[in-house]
Structure 1
Amino acid sequence: MKATKEIIINSTPSETRIAMLEDGELAELFVERPQHERTLGNIYKGIVRKVVPGMQAAFINYGEETDAFLHFSDVAEVGSTGGLSPIPIVEMIVVNEKGEKHTIRSPLKNNQEIIIQVIKEPIGSKGPRASSQISLAGRYLVLIPGQNDSGISRRIINIEERKRLRKLVRSIRPKNFGLIVRTVAEGHDENELRGDLQSLMDHWKDLETKIHSETAPSLIYQDLSMAFSIVRDLFTPDISVLAVDSRKLYRDVHSYLKEVSPQILDTLSLYRGRTPIFDHYKIEQRIESIISRKVPLDGGGHIVIDLTEAMVSIDVNSGRYIGKKDHEENSLKINLRAAREIARQLRLRDIGGLIAVDFIDLIEEKNRRKVYDEIKKKLRSDRAKTDVLPISYFGILEMTRQRLRPALLYTFNEPCSSCRGTGMVPSLETIITRMERWISRFRHGTREPRLLLTVHPDLAAALRTDLKPRFRQMMLKHLVHIKLKEDPTLRADEFQGYSYRQKRDITAQYDI
C-alpha cells in the first residue's frame, strides 16, 4: 500500500520552506533563503583558472567568490549540436577505478572559456562541484545537448511501460541530443512529452545565444527556484495535496502546472487558515527536532547523530530499555527500530557523504543481516543515491549517501563563536593558566611594570571575587600591576593586553 503524500509550501520574504509529508509524517524538508539561493542546475560561462593534473581536476572561475571544482570525470565528450556555438570540448587522460586510461578530446587549458553546470551545491568554504556535460530538466524529460542516446528512469519498474516510453522517446529525440525519461512521465502520452521537449529545445536555443554573446564569467541559465523545482521533480500522481500559503506563489505555481500538467491542477490549493500553515499540518514542532543530536526511538532507546568534517557518525543506544527477552533479542529489536529511524533521519536532515553507524553489538550473523536488510529496505524510498556495506563484526555499518547540498543543520545553525564548532570551551583554570603564561612572556620581554588586560565580563568577575587571591599572587609573582577592563564582545576565553609604555595592543606579540 502506497503512502499518502502531501506537499506543503510556506513562503515568506525571508525564506521559502517546502515540506513533504508521507502518511502525515514529515519525510523531507527543503529550505531556501535569499542569501543562500539555490544554484544546483545553474549553467555558467566560466574561465579555467587552474588545471591540476595531480588532482585530476580543474578550478573554474564562474563569477562567485570561490571557484567551481571540475573533476576530469565530469568533463564531457560532447560533439557539436549544430547551433550557433558548440559546447566546449576538452581533451585529457582520465584514469578510471580499474586504472585504465582513456582520452577526452581537445585540451583543457588555463584561461580558456568553458560552459559548466553546477551538480553539487557549495558546502562550507568549498565551492560547488561542476560538470561540463550540460543538461536541461523539464517536467517529463531531461535534454542532453551533444549526446545521441536515450534512457529511462530506473524508478519506472513496469516492463511494458519502459518499452513504450523507450520506443516513444526514440521517435521524438532530435539529432545530436540525448533524452532521459523522468519518473513522472510514467503513463503520459506522446503529445505531453513532445510539448515538454519543445519547451526544452526553446530553452536550449536561448542558452546557445547566451553562450555565444555573454562575457565570461557569467550566469547564462538559471534553473527553477526551489519551490518550482520541487513541484517539477516531486509532483507525481500519488501526491494528494499541494498547499501553498502565498497568493503570489499560488498564482505562479498555478500558471506553471496549467502549462505542463493541467490534469493535476485539482490538487493545488491556496491555504487561507488563520493558523500558520506549518502549525496547521503539525510540521513546525517536528522541524525543531531536526537540529537535535539525540533522537528517541519508539518503544525505547535512542540514536545520537554527530556531523564532523570527515564524516557523519550515528550511535545507537538502548537507553533504559530492558525488554523481556534475552540480550541478543532486545538488541535486535532496538537495532531494527534504529535502522528505520536512521533511514528517515538521513532523508529528512538531507545528510550526505560518508556515514558510520555504531549499532548495538549482535553476536549472530543472521541478526546483523536482518538489520542490514531493514536499512536497505527503508532507503529505497530515498531519491538520493546510497551505497551500504554489511554490518561488520564490531557492529559498524558504513554507507554513503549522495550529497547535493549542505545538511539542513547548517541551514538552521552556524558554528558557535565560543567553542568554534567543537562543542567544548576551555575551563576557567585553563584560561587563567594561559593568561599567566602570557603575562610571564610579557614581563620577560618588556620589563614593564604596568599592564591593561581586557577580558570578558564573566572572567573579570571571577578574577575580582573567587579568583582574587590567585590574581593577586599572579601580580606579585611577576611584579606587575594589572588593571582589568571588561569587553562583552570578547569570547569567554579571550583576553587582550595593552602596553601603557608602548601605547599599543601587544596581545599577538607574546602569544604562543
Structure 2
Amino acid sequence: MKQMIVHCTQHVTRMALLENGRLVEYAAERDQQQGLVGSYYKGRVMNVLPGMQAAFVDIGQKKNAFLYVDDVLHPHLDKQPEVKPSIDTLLQPGQEIIVQVRKEPRGGKGARVTTHYTLPGRWMVYMPFAEYVGVSKKISRESERNRLKVIGERLRRREEGLIMRTVSEDEQADAVEGDLSFLRAQWEMILRRAEEASAPALLHSDLSIVQRFIRDAYNPQLDELMIDSAKAVREAEAFLTEMAPEGYKPVGFYRGQEPIFTAYGVQEQLLRSFSRKIILEGGATLIWDETEALTVIDVNTAQYTGGATLEETVTRTNLLAAEEIGRLIRLRDTGGIIIVDFIDMELEEHRRQVVERLGRVVSSDRTKTHILGWTHLGLLEMTRKKARHDSASFAPVICQCCGGTGKVGAWLE
C-alpha cells in the first residue's frame, strides 16, 4: 500500500511517498516559488546563435530560456528533415513564440524550453502536434497495448498525438475520452491567452506539488493520503472530485501532537537517506557525492562480513547496495550522469545479477533511468533525466561565499 504524507507550513509544502512504510519519493515546494517545469509562456526570441544551433528566449525570468534546434523541429521524428536546418531559418530575433519549460533553471543557466508541447492528464499525455499514438512501455500485455492504441487512434484528431499512461491499463474508453476532452480545453485556453497577451507572459502553470503526485502516483481507491492542513485537505478533495468522479478514499486530516513527518517515520528516513554516508543493512556503506552534472556513489563492505567466501561477501554487499541505490536515486531525484563504484567481483554472472537487481528497482521510477553498463575501470554507468530539483530543498543550504568548503569557528581574541 502507498501512503502520501503531506506537511504544510506557512511557506513550504513537503510531500513524502511511502510504499509499505518505506520512503521512496520526496519533494518540497515553496508557495511563492512553484516550479516552472510544465508551464507555458509566450516568449520573445532575443538571440539566435547558428553556431550553437540554439536561441535564447525571454520568458520573464531572470535568465533567458535556452531553446535548442531539436525542440523547434516537428515533434514526430518521421516528420523531421534528414539534415537539420540552421536555427536562423526557423527563428528570428524579436519573434514571439509559445514555449513550454522542460527543465528548471539551475546555477547560471536559464530554463530549457521546447515547442514540443505536452499536457499530462490522468490517463494520457496530450501532444497537440505530434501526430502519433504511443503506449507506456510499462504496459506489457500486447492485447492491452493494442486496445489502447486503437482507442487513441479513434479519439485523436489528425495533427494530435497521445501517449497512453501506465494507469490507463484496463481503463474504460469513456474515461480516456473524458480526459482527452479536458486536455483539449486546456490547450485551447493556452492559445486564447497567447493571442491576448504580450510577450513575455505566463500562459499556464503546472499543477501544485500535491496535485502532481495525486495525478501521477496515487490510486484514489486504494492509497492513503494524509495532510496536516485543513486548507490543503479541501484543495486535495476538490482535485480528487474532478479527477476521480466515481469516488475516492477519504483524505485524512492529521491532528496529532507531534509533527506528521515524525509520526509516520518520514523525518528519520529523510535524515538517513540524504546523508553523504548511508549505512546499509549489515553494516555496508554508500558514500554519495554530487556535482551539478555528475553523481558518484562508492560502495564499501565496511563492517559487513555476511558470506562464506570473499566473492560471496562482495556480491551480497553489491546486491544490497544496488537495491538501496535504486531507491535513493528516485528519492533524491538524482539526475544527469551517475557512476557507481561497486566492489570488484570476479565472476561475470555476479556482475549481471547486480545490474538486474538495480534494473528491477529503477523500473518502478516514473523518471526514466538508463543503465549503460560497466566501464573498462569496472564502474557502472547510468543516466537519469532530471527536470525539477524540488528535493534539493531538504538538503543543507550551501554557503554562497565559500561554496561549502569552509568551516564555522569562533573568533580568536
TM-score (ref. length: structure 2): 0.92
Counterpart residue number, 1:12: 9
Kindly indicate whether the alpha-carbon contact (under 8 Å) linking 2:221 and 2:249 is maintained by their aligned counterparts in 1. no
- Residue 135 of structure 1: how far off its partner (Å): 1.8
Shift of 1:366: 2.1
Matching residue's letter, 2:43: G
Separation (CA, whole Å) in 2 of partners of 1:159 and 1:324: 42
SS state at 1:262 partner: coil
Match of 2:39 in 1: 42
In 1, the alpha carbon distance for the partners of 2:116 and 2:272 equals: 39
The aligned counterpart of 1:433 is: none
Is 1:364–2:364 an aligned residue pair? no
C-alpha change, 1:35 and 1:255, in structure 2 (3 Å) is closer
CA positional deviation for 1:138 = 1.8
Q: Report which structure shows greater RCO (CA 8 Å, sep ≥6).
A: 2
| Shift, 1:56, TM fit | 2.2
Which residue in 2 is equivalent to 1:405?
A: 388
Query: Shift in Å at residue 26 of structure 1?
Result: 0.4
Quote the offset at 1:407 in angstroms.
Answer: 6.6
1:152 equivalent in alignment to 2:149 = no
Deviation (angstroms), 1:147: 3.3
Structure 1 match to 2:155: 172
Relative to 1, partners in 2 of residues 1:397 and 1:138: Cα closer, same or farther, differing over 3 Å? Answer: same
Aligned to 1:302: 285
Cα distance in structure 1, aligned partners of 2:221 and 2:336: 30
Q: 3-state SS of the aligned residue for 1:381?
A: coil
Q: Which residue of 2 is the match for residue 59 of structure 1?
A: 56
Indicate the residue corresponding to 2:118 in structure 1.
Answer: 135
Asked if 1:327 corresponds to 2:310, the answer is yes
Deviation at 1:123, TM superposition (A): 2.0
Change (3 A) 1:457 1:193: closer
Q: CA deviation at 1:255?
A: 1.6
Match of 2:212 in 1: 229
Query: 3-state DSSP class of the match of 2:161?
Result: strand
C-alpha deviation, 1:164, in angstroms: 1.9
Whole-angstrom CA distance in 2 between matches of 1:226 and 1:32: 7
For the pair shown, the structure with the greater C-alpha radius of gyration is 1
Give the Cα–Cα distance (whole angstroms) in 2 for the partners of residues 78 and 371 of structure 1: 36
Whole-angstrom CA distance in 2 between matches of 1:320 and 1:142: 47
In structure 2, what is the Cα distance between the partners aligned to 1:394 and 1:291?
27
- Per-residue CA deviations over 1:47-90 (Å, capped at 9, x if unaligned) read 111122222221111000011111111124279xxxxxxxxxxx
What is the deviation of 1:104? 8.5
3-state SS, counterpart of residue 370 of structure 1: helix
Aligned to 1:248: 231
CA change 1:157–1:76 in 2 (3 A) is: same
Mark the CA change 1:291 to 1:47 in structure 2 (over 3 Å): closer, same or farther: same
Q: Which of 356, 380, 386 is the equivalent residue of 1:373? A: 356
2:98 matches 1:101: no
SS in 2 for 1:117: strand
Q: Which residue of 1 aligns with 2:252?
A: 269
- Cα 1:379/1:22, change in 2 over 3 Å: same
CA gap of 1:292–1:380, structure 2 versus 1, over 3 A, is: same
Asked if 1:350 corresponds to 2:347, the answer is no
Q: In the alignment, is the contact (CA less than 8 A) between 1:385 and 1:401 conserved in 2?
A: yes
Cα distance in 1, alignment partners of residues 75 and 332 from structure 2: 36
The alignment's TM-score, normalised by the length of structure 1, stands at 0.75
Compared CA separation, residues 417 and 143, structure 1 to 2 (3 A): closer
Higher mean C-alpha deviation, range 262-271 or range 63-72: 262-271
Matched ranges for 1:79-118 at <5 A: 101-103=83-85, 107-118=90-101
Judged with a 3 Å threshold, the aligned counterparts in structure 2 of structure 1 residues 135 and 76 are, in CA distance, closer, same or farther, namely farther
| 3-state SS of 1:116 partner | strand
1:368 shift after superposition: 1.9
**Structure 1: 5+ residue stretches without partners:** 80-90, 95-99, 427-455, 462-512
Secondary structure of the structure 2 residue equivalent to 1:126:
coil
**2: CA distance, partners of 1:169 / 1:41:** 23
- Contact between 2:43 and 2:96, CA under 8 Å: does it hold in 1? yes
Which stretches in structure 2 are left out of the alignment for 5+ residues?
none
Q: How does 1:190-201 map to 2 (within 5 A)?
A: 190-201=173-184
Report sequence identity in percent. 38
2:164 to 165, 169, 181: 181
Give the match for residue 484 of structure 1: none
2:45 is paired with a residue whose SS is strand
- Cα 1:195/1:147, change in 2 over 3 Å: same
Compared CA separation, residues 293 and 191, structure 1 to 2 (3 A): same
CA deviation profile, 1:471-506 (whole Å, cap 9, x unmatched): xxxxxxxxxxxxxxxxxxxxxxxxxxxxxxxxxxxx
Q: In 2 relative to 1, CA 418–177 (structure 1 residues): closer, same or farther, beyond 3 Å?
A: closer
Q: CA separation of 1:236/1:154 partners in 2, compared to 1, >3 Å: closer, same or farther?
A: farther
Partner of residue 207, structure 1:
190
